[in-house]
């Protein structure tokens, strides 16, 4: 049924195009060339009768069809590129994603002299003898083959199709071995594409050393390339100093590879860089202080490596545009002077497993717009200051777990714009649980010293709260009877407290509850 519906949708679209074609002529007749184009159009379809009237004897006017500049045939059942496409000389954009294209690469695709963007095809092995037929097209500027199957023999053909190839997207394509920047049998190479702006090769199986990869592009590519994504591959080696010669580079993604060694001292020379992602590698050593000279970065992610040493205000000297900072899962110590005022306002602060303590980091008082703050296991042993609880209303995620934080929560009437996740597990917070903490979607306060009753729950309704962990505290009294106010609860853990009384009947209204833990209390029937 799905296949028939999809086919009917395609045919309906084509019938509409045919109507436009018939109504578009000035004299009601069309040339033999136009007639043949419509018939080729029909041949590429599974015909369930809708197009049975299309025949050689009938007249037509297909000028509107031949003038098409955008053609989207995505998510259909094509097994080869439909032949009628070769007649659409005005075509600028072609999308064939979501099909199962196979067979020989059609030589006539190179005759589409205006084609600028080609999205998501699966190009199989290409017969090298067919390359001579497609050199006439030099227009292709955006080639997007994400999650496709691209054979290396296709590259000479694709790279010969343009002297513009501004964006080349080859993500998730099973490419393996050395990077396909240059092949011995190619007439042209990626190194000669002097106007290349975007190169996406993420999600493949490339295992070449990074220094070798970065040596391949010619000087003109180094001056033009703005986005380079080599993430989620198996690239090894260190980050060489040659990277600083990519003078126009704005985004560099090398995360999820096997990089090792230290960062070059002159990495700060990448003055145009807005995104630097080196996460989930095996990089070592200290972070160069020259990073602080990069005025462009909005995103800095070096998490999950083996960096060590100290981070000081010098590392952030000119990073006034920084919004996303992730240093988690390294052996880094943040050592800032008490009066330091950062030049940035961060949206995301991820410093998990970095050393921030023993005092609570005063510089966080200057950050008033963050939506994510993740600083668990950061060796803080301090009273949490009252100013901290003036949390941003756009908060989405807060994690202060596994520290040695203490203090009593102030009675705030704080409301969030959305429902954040909050985790304060394994600290020494005491006093009653404030009402605003239940205005969340996930709340984990286990292994603290919270006391008092849970009666505050009955003062609010939150149909978004789904995970609540309050175990290993000092809560007492009876359970409230307003659980119908939390209908989305999936997990409720209240074990190892001093709760007593009977289990209230409104628990029966929690139809989505999967885990209820009440052990090690004083309940009775």
Q: How many residues does the chain have?
A: 525
DSSP string of 296-338, one letter each residue: --SEEE--SSEEEEEE-GGGGTT-TT--EEE--SSEEEE---T
CA dihedral 240, 246, 252, 255 (to 10 degrees): -20
Rounded to whole angstroms, how far apart are CA atoms 502 and 519? 13
pLDDT band at 89; cut points 50, 70, 90: confident
Query: 2-22 and 32-43 helices cross at what angle (nearest 10)?
Result: 170
Q: Where are the alpha helices (DSSP H) in 217-303?
A: 219-224
DSSP codes joined into one string, 107-118: GGGGG-TT--EE
Per-residue pLDDT tens digits for 130-162: 544 444 455 666 766 666 666 655 665 555 555
Separation between Cα atoms, residue 38 and residue 166, nearest integer Å: 33
CA–CA dist 219, 59 (Å, integer): 56
239 pLDDT above the threshold of 80: yes
Q: How confident is the model at residue 92 (pLDDT cuts 50, 70, 90)?
A: confident
The secondary structure of 470-518, three-state, reads CCCCEEEEECCCCHHHCCCCCEEECCCCEEEECCCHHHHHCCCCCEEEC
Confidence of residue 166 (pLDDT cuts 50, 70, 90): confident
Tokens standing for 378? 């950061």
Distance between the two ends of the chain, CA-based, in angstroms?
56
Burial 288-302 (b: 16+ CB within 10 A, else e): bebbbbbbbbbbbbb
- Percent of the chain beyond pLDDT 90? 51
- CA 377 to chain CA centroid, Å, is 26
**Strand arrangement of the beta sheet that strand 498-501 belongs to:** 406-408, 428-431, 449-452, 474-478, 498-501, 522-523
Q: Is the pLDDT reported for residue 96 higher than 80? A: no
Query: pLDDT tens digits, residue range 170-192?
Result: 777 766 777 654 433 334 555 55
Looking at residue 183, what is its pLDDT?
35
Per-residue confidence (pLDDT) for residue 56, from 0 to 100 = 54
76 near 44, Cβ under 8 Å? no
Q: Quote the pLDDT of residue 31.
A: 59
Q: Do the bridges between strand 258-261 and strand 236-237 make them parallel or antiparallel, or are there none, so unpaired? A: parallel
Q: Of 12-16, 286-290, 502-506, which gets the smallest average pLDDT? A: 12-16
- Helix, strand, or coil here: 428? strand
Determine the average pLDDT of the residues in 396-402.
98
Give pTM, 2 decimals: 0.82
> CA angle, corner 196, sides to 195 and 200, nearest 5?
170
**Where residue 99 falls among pLDDT bands split at 50, 70, 90?**
confident
In the block, tokens 């560099």 appear at 252
Can you give the C-alpha Rg of the chain in angstroms?
Answer: 31
More confident call, 420 vs 39: 420
Mean pLDDT for all residues in the chain = 81
Structure tokens at 25: 């002529």
HEC profile for 47-100?
A: CCCCCCCCCCCCCCCCHHHHCCCEEECCCCCCCCCCHHHHHCCCCCEEECCCCC
User: Rounded mean pLDDT of 263-272?
Assistant: 91
Give yes or no for residue 126 having a pLDDT over 70: no
Place of tokens 């000279």: 293
CA torsion through residues 358, 359, 360, 364, sign = negative
Least trusted range by pLDDT, from 210-214, 436-440, 512-516: 210-214
Integer Cα distance of 169 and 178 in angstroms? 17
Return left, alpha or beta for 268; rule: phi > 0 is left, psi -120 to 50 is alpha, else beta.
alpha
Q: Report, as an integer, the average pLDDT of 284-308.
A: 96
Asked whether the predicted pLDDT for residue 213 surpasses 90, the reply is no
Q: Report the greatest alpha carbon distance in the chain.
A: 92
pLDDT confidence tier of residue 300, bands split at 50, 70 and 90: very high
pLDDT tens for each residue of 436-483: 999 999 999 999 999 999 998 998 899 999 999 999 999 999 999 999
Q: pLDDT-based confidence at 50, cuts 50/70/90?
A: very low
- At 214 the three-state DSSP class reads helix
Q: What pLDDT shows up at residue 396? A: 97
- 276 pLDDT band, cuts 50/70/90, is very high
């Amino acid at each position: 049924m799905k296949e028939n519906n999809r086919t009917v949708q395609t045919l309906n679209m084509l019938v509409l195009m045919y109507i436009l074609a018939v109504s578009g002529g000035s004299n009601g007749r069309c040339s033999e060339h136009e007639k043949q184009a419509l018939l080729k159009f029909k041949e590429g379809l599974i015909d369930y009768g809708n197009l049975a009237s299309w025949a050689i004897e009938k007249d037509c006017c297909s000028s509107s069809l031949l003038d098409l500049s955008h053609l989207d045939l995505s998510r259909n059942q094509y097994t080869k590129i439909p032949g009628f496409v070769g007649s659409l000389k005005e075509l600028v954009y072609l999308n064939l994603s979501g099909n199962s294209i196979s067979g020989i690469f059609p030589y006539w695709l190179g005759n589409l002299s205006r084609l600028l963007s080609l999205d998501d095809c699966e190009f199989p092995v290409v017969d090298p003898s067919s390359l001579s037929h497609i050199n006439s097209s030099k227009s292709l500027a955006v080639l997007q083959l994400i999650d496709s199957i691209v054979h290396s023999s296709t590259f000479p053909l694709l790279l010969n199709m343009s002297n513009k190839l501004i964006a080349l997207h080859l993500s998730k394509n099973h490419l393996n071995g050395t990077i396909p920047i240059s092949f011995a049998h190619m007439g042209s190479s990626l190194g000669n594409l002097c106007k290349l702006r975007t190169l996406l090769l993420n999600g493949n199986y490339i295992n070449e050393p990074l220094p070798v990869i970065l040596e391949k592009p010619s000087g003109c590519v180094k001056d033009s390339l703005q986005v380079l994504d080599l993430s989620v591959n198996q690239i090894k080696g260190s980050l060489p100093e040659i990277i600083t010669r990519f003078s126009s580079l704005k985004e560099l993604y090398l995360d999820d590879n096997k990089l090792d060694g230290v960062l070059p001292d002159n990495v700060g020379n990448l003055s145009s860089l807005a995104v630097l992602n080196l996460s989930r590698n095996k990089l070592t050593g200290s972070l160069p202080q020259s990073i602080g000279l990069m005025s462009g970065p909005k995103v800095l992610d070096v998490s999950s490596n083996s960096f060590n040493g100290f981070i000081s205000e010098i590392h952030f000297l000119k990073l006034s545009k920084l919004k996303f900072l992730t240093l988690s899962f390294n052996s880094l110590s943040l050592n800032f002077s008490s009066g330091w005022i950062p030049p940035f306002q961060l949206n995301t602060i991820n410093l998990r497993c970095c050393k921030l303590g023993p005092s609570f980091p005063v510089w966080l008082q200057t950050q008033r717009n963050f939506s994510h703050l993740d600083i668990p296991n950061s060796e803080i042993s301090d009273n949490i200051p009252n100013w901290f609880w003036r949390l941003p209303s756009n908060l989405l995620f807060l994690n202060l777990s596994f520290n040695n934080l203490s203090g009593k929560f102030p009675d705030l009437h704080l409301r969030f714009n959305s429902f954040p996740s909050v985790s304060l597990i394994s600290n020494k917070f005491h006093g009653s649980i404030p009402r605003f903490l239940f205005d969340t979607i996930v709340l984990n306060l286990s292994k603290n010293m919270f006391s008092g009753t849970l009666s505050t729950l009955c003062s609010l309704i939150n149909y978004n709260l789904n995970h609540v962990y309050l175990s290993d505290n000092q809560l007492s009294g009876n359970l409230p009877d307003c659980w119908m106010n939390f209908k989305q609860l999936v997990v409720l853990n209240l074990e190892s407290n001093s709760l007593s009384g009977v289990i209230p009947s409104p628990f029966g209204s929690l139809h989505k509850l999967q885990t209820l833990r009440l052990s090690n209390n004083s309940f009775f029937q």
